[in-house]
Each structure stands twice: as C-alpha cells, then as structure tokens.
Amino acid sequence: MLIIAVVAGLLLGSCVAGTPPSPTPDTIIPQLKTLVVAAKDSPAADKAKADFVGDGADDQVEIQKAVNLAGSAGGGTVLLLPGTYILGDVIDLMPNIKLIGQGDLTVLKVKNNLGRNSSLLRIPTAMSNVEISNLALDGNKSNNEGFIITGIEAQPLSKSLISNIWIKDFTNHGIELVGSYDNKIVGVRVTGSNVGVSLLSFSYRNVIIGNVAEGNITGFSIASDSYENTITGNLAKNNSASGFSLCSAYRNTISNNTAIGNEGAGLRAQDNSEYNIITNNIFNGGLDGIILTTTGTYEKSRYNTIEGNTATGNSRYGIFLQEATGNQVKRNDLRGNKSGNMFGTGNIVADNILGPK
C-alpha cells in the first residue's frame, strides 16, 4: 500500500514520490437535510432527536449509514452529537459531505486492540467539497501498538476544509493528504502521534494555517514532490524530531510559524528541496534552528530563500547548511546558538545578526 511505503520512507529519512493526481471538477454542496447521529453515552434528549444511535462498540456502522444516505442524495451534513464513538473500522467519506461534531465533546476513538492497519476517517478515492470540522479524534495508541493507524487519510482530496479538530495518540499521522490540492487545514491540534500534519506525493496549493503540533515525532511534513503549499501561522512545539520538515519539496512558502523546543531542527529541508521561501519564522530552543541537508544519492537542497527568521538559543546551530548550495540567507537573527552557524559554500549570505544574544 502507498501509505505503508510512505511511512517507511519517512522513518528511513528518504522521500517517496508518487504519481501526480488528476484534478476533479468543481462541484457545489447541495443544501440537503442534516442527518443526526448520537453515541451510546449521549444524553437521552440527544438520542431522542437522532436519526441514528451508536451501540458503543462499532459506532462506525451508524455513522457510515448516515454518510451513505447523505451521499446518495448528492451530499449533505452528518452531525455528530456530544459523546464518545468507538470505531472498529474506518469511516469512508463521500463528495459534498460535511461531517460536523460539537467540538471536543464529540470524540471518535479507535477501539482497543483493533489488530490491523487502519484510519479513523478516509477519503478513499478522488473527491472534492468535503468538510470535517469540530471533532476530537483519539488513536488510542497505547492499546494499538504495532499497527499503522492514521487520523484522517485522504488520497486524494481537493477543495475541502479540515478545521477545529483535536487529534491525539495515532501511531501514524494525525492528518495525511496524498496527492491532494486546494484544501485548507485550520485550527487543528495534533499531539502524541508520528507526524502531526503531512502533505505527500504531489500535494499542491494547500493552505495549512493556525494549527498546533506538539509532542509528536515530527510536527509538520511536506514531502515527495509536494509543491506550492502555504504553511503559515502554525506552532510546532516539543516534537522529538523536527518541528517542520521539507523532503523533496519545492516552491512552498513557510512563513510566520513558530518552532520551540523541538529535539531536532526547527525546520529541516533535505533531499532536493528547492525554491522554497522560508521567511519570518521563529525557530528557537531546539537542536538546530534551520538545517538544509541531503541523504543518500539525492541532490542538494538548493535555491531556497531563508530571510527574516529568528533562530536563537539552539543547542547547536542557528543555521546549518550541509550539502546545500545556491541558497539565499539574508537578514536573519542568529544570535545565541551554542555552535554559532554553518553557512557552507556556494550560498549567498548577507545582513544576518550574529554573535551572542
């Protein structure tokens, strides 16, 4: 499966490319009746007004029925009332569907000992105009070790919205978009997972704004020939590897983000990552502020613009250009890093603030 290959590639430090997606046509979500789903532990009044009520063991059955019914009518809203929904299998979404909860009061949780690789929510084939909002997703990692479980998996998705989602404890990615484009991810918080938010395999023109990735392995990842994405206003904090990772990614804009206290770099770009704009970010208190490097036989990371960033108080370098050339490094505040900075050769370096802080 593509998902397993991508995970293996990320863990080995390489980037996996796929096939460019075929665009899907624009559609309009019809204004259809809302279908209401309640959980087994929802209040009695909520159950009384629900179209479907879960059994507390395999609640994906009732949610999938609601999705299918709305989808068969051309689209609509599936409203999940407050409660904990225990899922023993994936929920496959359909075009023109809104899956809406009641904030962190609506919890979708992987059942104990699922015993296989899976996702909670999946876009199984190319589709557009989907909304997933106001939900909490619990990967129940402690009871599902050894299996690859993703929060939201899309391959591919377009012209859709993922917003206000609380995601925790997934053995794989919190959100993973594969070959996806023109989507917006906003107001999502991911903790305790492998990767918080990832864009893979020719994903392009997505906007990732105002999200938090804390206590994962990697916070935000753009990889395998993903391009022209905008990553802005996000926080990556206390992740055990990098806050932001670019791997064979190009022409992306990484701006006005904050990475604090990550055990790896605030931002790591590697393996032929080119023409990215990295500007006005804060990369403090990690191993390195910004590192550009390469692995194996990949080309160097080249022609990136690194400007106006603050990278201070890191335990090694503020900026470390290793196997990187043709990059512009200008007007960055690089004071107070234990080992200073390493600018390599063949890069344009000007007007940076250096020395102790």
Cα distances (angstroms) measured from residue 34 to each of 66, 78, 163, 197, 334: 9, 6, 19, 29, 53
The residue ranking higher by pLDDT, 32 or 253, is 253
User: What's the CA gap between 339 and 341, in Å, rounded?
Assistant: 6
How, if at all, do strands 265-270 and 288-293 pair?
parallel
Instruction: Identify the residue whose tokens are 């938010």.
Output: 197
Q: What is the mean pLDDT of residues 80-89?
A: 98
Q: What is the mean pLDDT of residues 65-69?
A: 96
Q: Note the pLDDT tens digit of each residue in 184-210.
A: 999 999 999 999 999 999 999 999 999
Domain containing 100 — which CATH number? Answer: 2.160.20.10
Q: Note the pLDDT tens digit of each residue in 109-140.
A: 999 999 999 999 999 999 999 999 999 999 99
Which one-letter DSSP state was computed for residue 318?
A: S
Q: Note the pLDDT tens digit of each residue in 310-332.
A: 999 999 999 999 989 999 999 99
Query: Angle CA(302)–CA(299)–CA(262) in degrees, nearest 5?
Result: 70
CA proximity to 83, closest of 114, 130, 129, 50: 50
Q: Is the pLDDT of residue 28 over 60?
A: no
Q: What is the mean pLDDT of residues 158-169?
A: 98
- Contact between 246 and 273 under an 8 Å Cβ cutoff? The reply is yes
Q: What is the mean pLDDT of residues 160-168?
A: 98
Residue 301 included in any domain = yes
- Which pLDDT band, with edges at 50, 70 and 90, does 171 fall under? very high
Predicted pLDDT at 32: 64
Predicted pLDDT at 357: 74
What is the SS3 assignment for 150? strand
Q: Which of 5-19, 225-239, 242-256 has the lowest mean pLDDT?
A: 5-19
| Residue ranges making up the domain that contains 171 | 81-350
Q: Is the pLDDT of residue 166 over 50?
A: yes
What's the structural domain count of the chain? 1
Residue 15 included in any domain = no
Residue 3 included in any domain = no
Predicted pLDDT at 297: 74
Residue 71 included in any domain = no
DSSP lists the bridge partners of residue 232 as 209, 255
Mean pLDDT over the full length of the chain: 92
Residue 318 included in any domain = yes
Residue 94 included in any domain = yes
CA proximity to 330, closest of 348, 345, 316, 342: 348
Q: What is the mean pLDDT of residues 44-68?
A: 97
Residue 88 included in any domain = yes
Instruction: State both tokens at 47.
Output: 């159950």
Instruction: Note the Cα 39 to chain centre separation in Å.
Output: 27
Residue 221 included in any domain = yes
